Every structure is written in structure tokens, then in C-alpha cells.
Structure 1
Amino acid sequence: MTKTIPVQKNDYIEVVFEDLTHDGAGVAKVDGYPLFVKNALPGEKAKIKVIKVNKGYGFGRLEEILEESPYRVDTPCPIYKECGGCQLQHLSYEGQLLAKEKQVRDVLTRIGKLENVKVHPVLGMSEPWRYRNKAQVPVGEREGGLIAGFYQQRSHEIIDMEACMIQQEKNDEVVQAVKRICTKYGVTAYNEQRHKGSLRHIMARHGQVTKEVMVVLVTRTPDLPNKERIVKEIVEAVEGVKSIIQNVNSKKTNVILGDETRVLWGEEVIYDLIGNVKFAISSRSFYQVNPAQTKVLYDQALSYAELTGEETVIDAYCGIGTISLFLAQKAKKVYGVEIVPEAIADANRNAELNEIDNVEFAVGEAEVVIPNWYKEGIVADVLVVDPPRKGCDDALLQTIIEMKPKKVVYVSCNPATLARDLRILEDGGYRTVEVQPVDMFPHTTHVECVALIELK
């Protein structure tokens, strides 16, 4: 017998919200039927309008809050409701940390069937604003010149912004200067429908410790009218600029960077430090956007690894060597593997930069390279994984189970895939000891975790 949906489109109803979705919407249930409502918070009673009804769930619009959450706050950002960059500014920072801890606990129980794993309170920031060291914003045009900002939620409408509350101020300065200077010299914005126009994106990178700045202009074609004048004025306008790069992306795509990169002025890289480890950062480098919390995250990984100087460590998904180089300071030998050749080139350069010689990096898929190392007799005492959002490849998980390192330290940017992978490792003879969430992205729904896993 088919269950009747208890609400219809355009109904006005009163609900009480009991949870948040992974993208920050409030969840209310009517006779067990979930309704997702943006900007609502758990514990709130509200009047909503039902705007969409699907078979298993629906969506509503918040009309009036009848009983407010004690964690609700006024949002300081003037474009918060339109912009898609943040999802949780209306929730106090204390409330955000509690919600993220609950999210981690819930997925470990629901997906991983792990009910007795210790989940620590989330490690948050003392100052959770202005933390991002990298801006990359699409460029558009309105009467009077260029605009740049994040897309409106679920659209490709650009919300022009003067400042972003989670960007370091220097990045705002770069974006405003490039908009003004490129408007002055008649640079056109890229139009994705017609595949015409020139400037697609503005990227700014800022070294939090070194204060060095990189400006990247992403264009549709190699031609950039008045290039020399534009470069000269950017250098004059933005203090600390060490590198101005042009990236050419001629494809019809949502991917930001194209294959061709050229230095217009200054250096190819800028530098920054996490702790006492120095990194060279190119326009294409993956480098954590919140360096203060990255140190918190890596210190936690290092603490769980409990290195004495005698261990062999394998770092799967090593990127530009950030975790590898942290671990190498305390390990006998570290092997890192990463599928992106440019990242491995950066990793080798960073090892050289820091005069760290007990690391070895390889290009390839972790699930292919690590079994080959195992056949060659390279066995990890500690294995560290820091996979993309999709989690670990199944072949890598099976290799870990076969290799039997005493300890696995799992750094995760997606609690759901972490829970899935922990279940596989548990079934393969491992025990999840504890999980430490770290808030790398305040005011968004994202949460990073470090999990300690030991051989039973």
C-alpha cells in the first residue's frame, strides 16, 4: 500500500525543526515525511510554505520563526542570504561546532555502524573569520564595468561583492584592484553561454606568514589587451605582490584553470609556512586554505602516529607533501604517493626547500603504487591516508588490510566516506580508537576529521 504524502505544494504549515542536513538546511518531519528548509535551525518552531514535494521528501521556505533557537545570530555579511559561499552564518559559532560534532557522530553510527567510537568535541578557531588564504571568483559584467564574486546558491548568477567575511583581507584587495584596473582598460568578462569575452576568473593567493601575494588572471584566450599596463598597475595597487600569472582556459567547462600557465611578472611561486615547514605554492598547487587550522589538523595526525624516529610511514594521497614533511621530522623514512605529477614535483621541491632527505615521493594511484612497494618489501609501521571527498579506493583499503600496518591515521574531509571506509577496515581486522573533528571551514557545513585506527 502506497503511503500518502501528508503535505502538498503551496501548503502553509507549522513545524518544529529537529536536525540539519549535510548542506545546512533545517529538517522538520510531518508524519515522518521530511521537509528541508534553508536558514532554519534545530529546536525552532516556524511557519513554512511547502514549495516542492517529492516522493520521499520535500522542500519548504521559511515564512516566520515562532520560537527561535538560542544559537541563532544576526549575520554580519550583507550578501549572506544570496551568496552560496557560506551556509551557517545564522548559527552561532558555538552552535556550529556542536552541529558538526553531531554530524560526525551520526554518520559513524548510521553509515559505519560504529556506536562506541569516542568522538571528541570539534577543535574550532578562536577567531573564525577572515581565514581563507585563497580566493577564486568568477567574473561577470554589468553596466559600468566588471563584477566578481561567488555564485548565488544553485545558480550561475554572480553576486558582486566588495568583501568576503571568510577571506583574508588581502585577497579582497586583489579582487577589487583587478576589477577596477581591468574595467579601466576595457577587458571584457567571459560569457559562458556564448563562449565569448576574455576574463573568466580572478584568483588570489596569500602567504599568511610570509605576506607574499600571487595574482592569477584566468582568460579564455592568450590575448589580454593592455597586458603590460594592467600588470604595472596591479603591482602598484597591491602591496606584497610577488607573482602575477596568466592562465589560459579556452574550454567550455566549469573547471577553473586551463592547461596553459605563463608568468606575466615576478616569480612562478610564492612561499608560506605551516609550523616550521616552508612550502612553495604555484598557481596550480593544492595548499590548504586555512593554514592556522591545518597546523591543528596535522599536529593531531602527528600525535596519533606516535612516532619515535624508528618508523617507516606511508602517506597515501600526499599532495604537495604537506603531511609527509610534517611526519618526516619524527619518522625514520616517509614514502608519499600522489596521482598528480605536478603535485609530486611540488612535493620534491618542498622537501629540498626544507632540507628534508628522509622522504621519497612517487607519482601514481595509491592503490597501485603501495601494493608494488609492499611486494618490494616496503612495509609501513604507520599508514596515513588523506583522500579526496570520495574517500579511499577499495583496492587501497584491501591493501591496508593485507599489509597490516599497526596503525592507520585517516585524515578525512568527508565524514560520510570516512564512516564507510572505517567499516571496511573494522571488518578487515582493525579497530577505530577515536575520532577528532577539526573545523577547517567555519560558517560552512564542511568538517575535517582525524581518525586513529589500530590493528586488533
Structure 2
Amino acid sequence: MKCKVGKICGGCAYLSKSMEEQASIKKAQVEELAQRNHLKLRVGDVLTAKNTTHYRNKVIVGFAKNKGKVYSGLYAAKSHRVVACQNCMMHPDIVNKIIVKIEELVSSMKIELYNEKTRTGLLRHVLIRYAHKTDEVMVVFVTSKKMFPSRRNLVNALVKEFKEIKTIVQNVNPRNTSIVQQDETILLYGDGMITDELCGLKISFSNRSFYQIHSEQCEVLYDMARKMCDLTKTDTVLDTYCGVGTIGLTLASSCKSVTGVEINPDAIENAKLNAKQNNIKNAKFISMDSTRYMMEAKKFRNHYDVIILDPPRAGTTKDFIEASTSLQPKKILYISCDPKTMMRDLVMFRQKGYMTNKIELVDMFPFTEHIETVVLLSHKKADSYIHIDVEFGEGEGKIPVDSIAKRAEAYKPKEKVTYKMIKEYIEAKYGFKVHTAYIAEVKRDLGLPMYDAPNAVEELKQPRKHPTPEKVEAIKDALRYFAVI
């Protein structure tokens, strides 16, 4: 496949390779990572996509000027340089058309472009989200400040020409950062969301919520997840890093309950709406950091039969792994868009007794270096078992019950002898009291085990007193009585 800016853009590293070649390379890379981390994993064949172009449902474009003329395009790899591109083969056709129109409007309305070096100007990026099943489009103007001249005319011109546009928002990002969006979003048109169909469900999402980039392959991924989890109607599921709730909601009909956890409050509101509009009543969603929630679950000893995690590219945390495995779920399903961080995490899961022998691959990103990986972890089981038949009773080959009772009594742990017991014995028998320090001194002289007291001091304020010979003998008598000596 040929692209005029492919070498400059760098977004599609495998543009010159066939799908078979891409699949082979990606599988080999995962196998190498597994070997490097000493993980004995069988790597499955890549589930390739039917649609390998025009699949991206989220597009971010930048704007720049060349000899005074505004142009739009994609960011060159590992840079903030905008590469002119009006007809990217990975973007849906409608998205490409909207980008061209926005470029024209930005130029004609003289909307000031943001300059990262001087930190001046207004328009930083335009983000477009597309719902493949419904053809709904969301346009997000990312600006450096709230004041947005001509925005009303800009919005009117776009919605007049493109009936697919269901909502337009402005996201305000005044920070000096490479992160595209920040917290403040201003509604310009529509209700701030678009709705797609996924695995037979209506899924709505807003501008800052996560949604898998390849909708059709997402259905392949979730179908695989459903089969791997193999849920029963009594299973409870914890879906961490849940985004707008897609994984948990697609599994809800197969289990008793689903709890979704996500740090992004906007995504959680979307998830609650998605449950409601699909009439799913056994799912609840909580806005909290997934690691923090897992540690709280450990604290309160919550039980989940299946824990699912689909973390960002950085992977999950050590605390998450320790807490999740302490809950002893039957299964842990791990979905990752970065095999490198997944392998790192699988090593830690293995140390906690949760292992897998196979990793599945789904190509969510045709023509790129990226691959989605899925593993099902379960608690390590015994390698083998020994079966022994034992008969109790009287007669040849049988074990007498009385004999077992006697042996059990012989092996019964001795009652712990405390200083209080020794002091009470001496007072009852001899009529005087002994100090704890005297008992400790006698034990020390006899070479008995001693333990540091938590309130011990390095230096005494007064000289230590020693027990009289009479008290020494009384203490030894008590120690003999309790079978300490």
C-alpha cells in the first residue's frame, strides 16, 4: 500500500508489508518478549482485521502554516511537527472530509493557531471521534483558552454541511503539555456524546472517555474475552480500568454481577448511562483509581470470581497485582495494548501464583507496530496428586482409632507458659510475689530462650535488683511445674 507521506508521518510503520507479514512479525515480537522474561507461553496466531483501512474511530489533527497558508495534518513520529495530510487511509472518509472543511474554515475565519514555542495563539488540535455502526461524529476543538472567537459561525458551518455531526465541544487546555485534552469541556452543539453499537449494545461516550480505536476488532476482542472467562450465572466480575464499561457490559448477561472501576469520572458517567440504556441491572460503576480500589477490596476482603484488567499502555501496578491476587479470584483476564509492560506484569503475577500458558493476539492496529494481547491467568495448581486409601478400625491393615487419639495427644502443642502464670503459681504456693524481671533473670541464667521486650531500654535509671536465693528456687520450681525445664 502506498502513501504520499507514509515515510514522513511514521504512523504506519508496516505500510509496505502484507497482512500476513505483519502478523508474522508481531507474533515473533511477542514470542521474543516472552522468552526474554523467561515466560513459557504459547503465542497464538494473530487474529487479523477484515477492514485494514479507514478503521480509526478517533483522529487527532494538528494545524500549521506554510508560507502563510493554513494546513492540517498528522504529527510526525516522536515530534510536534505537523505533516500535511488531507486524506489519510486510516481515517474514515467522512472524517477526512470534515478535516478538509475545518481547515478551510480556520483559514477563512482567521482563527489563530497555537504556537508551542511562544505559547501564544488559540487552536491547538482538533479531535474527531466516529461511530462506525451509526455514522455519528463528534468534533472537539482543543484551545489554549476559553475565549473562542467565531466559534458560533464555525459550528453552524460544520453542522450545516455534515448531518453526521451530532455534537461539537471545546476542550480548554492552557497547559504546556503534550497531553491533548484537559478537564474543562464546553458544550457547543448537541449533548456532548455520540453513540455506537458494540456487541449488540448501544455504547455512548464523550470526548475524554476511552473507546477502542478499531470498533470491529473490538468486537472480536470482546468475544474472545467472553469465551476465555467462561462465566457462570453465579460468577461475580470486577472490571478494572473499565472506561465506558464496554467489557463488563458485554459480559453482564453471562454472570451474576459486574462491578466496573475507572479513574475518569466522565467515563463512569458514560458507563452508567450505557448500563441504563441497555437495561442492564446487574452492573454498577465506581469512579476510583483501579489500584486504590483493589487495595480497598483487599482491606475489606471483597470476593470476585473473575477480575478483568485492561490498563493503559504503561500497564498496571505492583500494588494492584499484590492486592488482586490476595483476593484469590478463580480467574484474572488481562488485556493489554503493550506486550512489553504486560510481560513485566505477568512475571509479578507468576510470583503471586497466577499463571498462564498461552497468550492470544488481536490486531487492533493494522499497518502499525502495535498489537493487542490477551491472557487468562489462574492460580497455579498441583503438578500431580497421590491417592491414599486408609481404613480405620480393628483388624489387619487397619489403623486403630485409639492409637490415633494417643498420637494426637502426644503431638498436641503445649500451652504457652506466660510470666503471669508463673507469678500466680509462686504466689499461691509460696505466699510471696516475684517481679517479672526476676523471672527473666532466672530464665537467662538457665539458658532458656529470651525475647526482646518492646519497651526495653538501653540504660537503666537505677541499678538492677537481683532475686533472693529463696525467690530463685521458687521460680525454678514454677518452671519445672510448667515443664519449661
- The answer to whether TM tops 0.5 is yes
User: 1:144: how far off?
Assistant: 5.0
User: 1:397: how far off?
Assistant: 0.9
* Aligned-partner Cα distance in 2 for 1:246–1:401: 42
The 10-residue stretch of structure 1 (139-148 or 385-394) with the greater mean CA deviation from structure 2 = 139-148
* Aligned-partner Cα distance in 2 for 1:257–1:146: 22
Query: In the alignment, residue 50 of structure 2 is paired with which amino acid?
Result: S
* Aligned-partner Cα distance in 1 for 2:31–2:169: 43
Distance 1:420 1:154, change over 3 A: closer
Answer yes or no: is the 8 Å Cα contact 2:301–2:327 preserved in 1: no
Question: Are residues 1:424 and 2:341 paired?
Answer: no
Counterpart residue number, 1:114:
39
Answer yes or no: is the 8 Å Cα contact 1:319–1:343 preserved in 2: yes
* Aligned-partner Cα distance in 1 for 2:291–2:192: 32
The 10-residue stretch of structure 1 (99-108 or 150-159) with the greater mean CA deviation from structure 2 = 150-159
Match of 1:355 among 279, 283, 301: 279
Answer yes or no: is the 8 Å Cα contact 2:298–2:324 preserved in 1: no
Counterpart residue number, 1:149:
73
| Secondary structure in structure 2 of the residue aligned to 1:150 | strand
| Secondary structure in structure 2 of the residue aligned to 1:196 | coil
Query: In the alignment, residue 85 of structure 1 is paired with which amino acid?
Result: G
* Aligned-partner Cα distance in 2 for 1:205–1:424: 36
Distance 1:298 1:189, change over 3 A: same
* Aligned-partner Cα distance in 1 for 2:263–2:171: 22
Structure 1 unaligned runs (5+)? 1-74
1:256-295 paired onto structure 2 within 5 Å: 256-295=180-219
Counterpart residue number, 2:244:
320
* Aligned-partner Cα distance in 2 for 1:245–1:145: 26
Distance 1:400 1:155, change over 3 A: closer
* Aligned-partner Cα distance in 1 for 2:291–2:127: 33
Match of 1:372 among 267, 276, 296: 296
User: 1:454: how far off?
Assistant: 1.4
Match of 1:97 among 19, 23, 31: 23
* Aligned-partner Cα distance in 1 for 2:158–2:290: 41
Counterpart residue number, 1:298:
222
Answer yes or no: is the 8 Å Cα contact 1:139–1:146 preserved in 2: yes
| Secondary structure in structure 1 of the residue aligned to 2:345 | helix
User: 1:375: how far off?
Assistant: 4.4
Answer yes or no: is the 8 Å Cα contact 1:141–1:188 preserved in 2: no
Counterpart residue number, 2:12:
86
Answer yes or no: is the 8 Å Cα contact 1:410–1:452 preserved in 2: yes
**Which one has the largest radius of gyration?**
2
* Aligned-partner Cα distance in 1 for 2:71–2:306: 49
| Secondary structure in structure 2 of the residue aligned to 1:445 | coil
User: 1:430: how far off?
Assistant: 2.1
Counterpart residue number, 1:433:
357
* Aligned-partner Cα distance in 2 for 1:373–1:380: 10
Answer yes or no: is the 8 Å Cα contact 2:145–2:173 preserved in 1: yes
* Aligned-partner Cα distance in 2 for 1:200–1:187: 11
User: 1:192: how far off?
Assistant: 0.9
Question: Are residues 1:133 and 2:57 paired?
Answer: yes
TM-score when scaled to structure 2? Answer: 0.76
| Secondary structure in structure 2 of the residue aligned to 1:193 | coil
Query: In the alignment, residue 217 of structure 2 is paired with which amino acid?
Result: Q
Q: Deviations over 1:145-202 (max 9, x none)?
A: 3212112233322111111111111111111111111211111211111112221111
In proportion to residue count, which structure has more helix? 2
* Aligned-partner Cα distance in 1 for 2:249–2:136: 22
* Aligned-partner Cα distance in 1 for 2:192–2:325: 42
In proportion to residue count, which structure has more strand? 1
Query: In the alignment, residue 167 of structure 1 is paired with which amino acid?
Result: H
* Aligned-partner Cα distance in 1 for 2:375–2:130: 30
Query: In the alignment, residue 80 of structure 1 is paired with which amino acid?
Result: G
* Aligned-partner Cα distance in 2 for 1:238–1:205: 14
| Secondary structure in structure 2 of the residue aligned to 1:104 | helix
Counterpart residue number, 1:176:
100
| Secondary structure in structure 2 of the residue aligned to 1:81 | helix
Counterpart residue number, 1:72:
none
Question: Are residues 1:381 and 2:305 paired?
Answer: yes
Counterpart residue number, 1:410:
334
Distance 1:156 1:368, change over 3 A: closer
| Secondary structure in structure 2 of the residue aligned to 1:211 | coil
Question: Are residues 1:76 and 2:2 paired?
Answer: yes
Provide the alpha-carbon RMSD of the alignment: 1.5
Q: Deviations over 1:211-269 (max 9, x none)?
A: 11111111222222222221111112223111111122222222211332111122211
Counterpart residue number, 1:165:
89
| Secondary structure in structure 2 of the residue aligned to 1:122 | strand
Q: How many residues align?
A: 380
Question: Are residues 1:198 and 2:198 paired?
Answer: no
Structure 2 unaligned runs (5+)? 381-485
Answer yes or no: is the 8 Å Cα contact 2:206–2:266 preserved in 1: no
Query: In the alignment, residue 186 of structure 1 is paired with which amino acid?
Result: K
TM-score when scaled to structure 1? Answer: 0.80
Answer yes or no: is the 8 Å Cα contact 1:177–1:237 preserved in 2: no
Counterpart residue number, 1:454:
378
Answer yes or no: is the 8 Å Cα contact 1:389–1:413 preserved in 2: yes
User: 1:377: how far off?
Assistant: 4.8
| Secondary structure in structure 1 of the residue aligned to 2:348 | helix
Answer yes or no: is the 8 Å Cα contact 1:173–1:238 preserved in 2: no
User: 1:443: how far off?
Assistant: 0.9
Match of 2:367 among 443, 448, 451: 443
Answer yes or no: is the 8 Å Cα contact 1:434–1:453 preserved in 2: no
* Aligned-partner Cα distance in 1 for 2:299–2:80: 49
Query: In the alignment, residue 137 of structure 1 is paired with which amino acid?
Result: V
| Secondary structure in structure 2 of the residue aligned to 1:362 | strand
Answer yes or no: is the 8 Å Cα contact 1:188–1:199 preserved in 2: yes
